[in-house]
Chains A and B, each alone.
Chain A
Amino acid sequence: MTNPATEYAAGQGIGDARLDGRMVVDPDSGTDLLEVAMGPHHPSTHGVFRMDVALDGERITRLKPVFGYLHRNHEKLGEGHTYLASMPYTDRLDYICSLTNNWAYALAVEKLAGQEVPERAEYLRVIVGELTRVQNHALSVGFLIQDMGASGTPLMYAFREREKILDLFEALTGSRMMCNYMRFGGCRVDATSEWLDAVRKVVTGLPQFADEFEQLLCTNEILMARTQGVGVLRPELAVSAGVTGPALRAAGVNYDIRKVDRYSIYDRFKFKVPLGEHGDVYDRFMIRLLELRESIKILEQALKEIPDGPVMDPKAKIRNFRPKVGEAYGRIEAPKGELGFYLISDGGPNPYRYRVRPPSFVNLTILEDMCLGHNVADVVLILGSVDIVLGEVDR
């Protein structure tokens, strides 16, 4: 009796795939290396992502990130859809932070069409954007600790906090994760005063959460032993590879697009840009906690200053929107780094070219440099500290 699965595998050439754990000889070193495919179906890869690693004992000698498992043709779809119809698709890029994706895309289109955004809408964008950053950082720290083997507790605390923020998103936009909230020239709906009060209540509780989270984790000896000096990213390499976001700032490079570009109304708020010193996993972890606190500061200021007024530019069009011929690149400091949308308009209802510059994807390119020489268990940690979402990497 033959096994249909084996037959199928043989016919498809799956049986002699290169990475099924057999030994290969590295001609340079003369020693036997073991090639292992980490992923694509493993929780530590944060989605469907594969790392082809060559191991010398426990140590990594080669690492090749393989992505594309979640490719959904996002950019090509954008060329076929109207400008508005691409907005809900941007939610699905980095599905943890749908509102900042909306924001970057809206910013690019507004640049292209030369639209103005009313004051109140800008404030609402800052509020939802910073709430997104808080929940993303809480979650990414939670997942990092989960990758370390602390199964549950810190992640669940992070989820508990995120839940409150997602409830706010649902009350405002109608959806917890796929918010689809921003429009070209403003926001879709206005926030009620009750909603703003609810945000104030959540924001008042956030510093306590940050305190508890720090108390729980920051001085933990096991965490320090696992993360300090692991996955060091040198600032020169980070800059030349185009790394952005917390990973770049943890390497000590002062680059935050909120400060550099001063897009939207970020020039009105007082906040600091935390910087790391060593560029290791611990610094990337700490940077997120510190940024979370800075976001709380921005939220407090924005909630105090938010004016009344319209949330949509009255001249903005929902249907038959055709920006003039030209090109534009809109970028924001998304929680994971620089998120940019590059659009070329030929005057038609859909963009001629629609390109996304996702932070996760660019930050992943230096994964091998950070991992070389470390143990297998550290690879999981280093990947966790880069903070990727595969929806954005593969698009």
Chain B
Amino acid sequence: MLGEGILKGLAETAKNFAGSYVSKDRLTTVQYPEERIAPIEATRDFPFLVYDGEDWQAGLRCVACQICEKECPPKCIYIEKSKDKKPDYVGKPQIYPARFDIDISVCMSCQICVEVCPFEAIKMDTVFELATEDRFGGLLLDRSKLAKSNEYYHTIHPTEAAEVDARLAEEKAKVEAKARAAAEAAAAKAAAAPAAGAPAKTEPPAVKPAGGAE
């Protein structure tokens, strides 16, 4: 019968139309911006800099190694190294970025900066609705705008942030253990030094704990 196919198709649309009132699968749209879908955890859009503690300038993890600047495919990161040094999370004095700009009008959200960063200092944000009237200054973010706390990182990517924290804590513990072992070794050595009679006998036990801690 001519028109049978059309009627079959119309039955399908009728099913969808009626179904959209009862089934969530058939009506998937929401009325943005009044209604919003819950964000997906892995979402990424633009990078930000993580800092620990209260003060963003003191706590910035970035050490201005410029790897991300070099690896960034569209070259949207600009870094200037500082002249002086500040202590990092394990207490080692490090250079920090005197200037760290990301031009998010150029950024292509590829996450390569995050992958290459050896210091877990740069992570991907989930902010959107970034429209601005100033096309140049408004989209060129400097470090004061890029710096966001570790707590904020935990709110947007909880699983990933927990992994990063565990990794950093492990590293810190390692460094501390090493430092402690080194200090102990130095102390043992210092203690052994006055008893100059038998250096060969006292040295091996002093070295051993240092090796074991590593």
Interface residues, chain A, CB within 8 Å of chain B?
81-82, 84-89, 153, 157, 160, 163, 167, 170-175, 178, 180, 188-189, 205, 212, 215-224, 318-319
Contact = CB atoms under 8 A, between A and B. Distances in A.
A188 B3 CA distance: 51
A-side interface mostly: helix
Which of A88, A218, A222 is packed against the most chain B CB atoms within 10 Å?
A: A88
Nearest to A161: B28
B90 interface: no
Given A170-B42, A171-B41, A85 B73 contact: yes
B44 interface: yes
A175 B71 contact: no
A170 B43 contact: yes
Contact of A89 (B42, B73, B109): B73
A180 B110 contact: yes
B112 interface: yes
B115 interface: yes
B9 A216 contact: yes
Contact of B42 (A160, A173, A319): A173
B13 to A, nearest CB: 6
Contact of A180 (B5, B6, B111): B111
Contact of B44 (A157, A175, A212): A175
Nearest to B27: A160
Given A88-B73, A89-B73, A171 B5 contact: no
A319 B67 contact: yes
Contact of B6 (A82, A88, A189, A222): A222
Contacts of B179: none
Contacts of A89: 73
A219 B42 contact: no
B111 A318 contact: no
Nearest to A219: B5
B42 A171 contact: yes
A220 B5 CA distance: 4
Contact of A216 (B13, B43, B110): B13
Interface residues of B, number: 32
Contacts of A189: 42
Given A85-B73, A178-B108, A221 B124 contact: no
A218 B71 CA distance: 49
B54 interface: no
A84 B13 contact: no
Given A89-B73, A178-B110, A221 B41 contact: no
B3 to A, nearest CB: 6
B40 A170 contact: yes
Contact of A153 (B11, B13, B67, B111): B13
27 contacts: A82-B71, A84-B71, A85-B73, A88-B112, A89-B73, A167-B40, A170-B42, A170-B43, A173-B42, A174-B42, A174-B43, A174-B124, A175-B44, A180-B110, A188-B115, A205-B25, A212-B15, A212-B16, A216-B13, A219-B5, A219-B8, A219-B9, A220-B5, A221-B2, A221-B6, A318-B115, A319-B116
A212 B9 CA distance: 9
Contacts of A219: 4-5, 8-9
B214 interface: no
B28 A163 contact: yes
Contact of B12 (A86, A163, A174, A215): A215
Contacts of A87: 110, 112
Nearest to A208: B25
Which of B9, B16, B26 is packed against the most chain A CB atoms within 10 Å?
A: B9
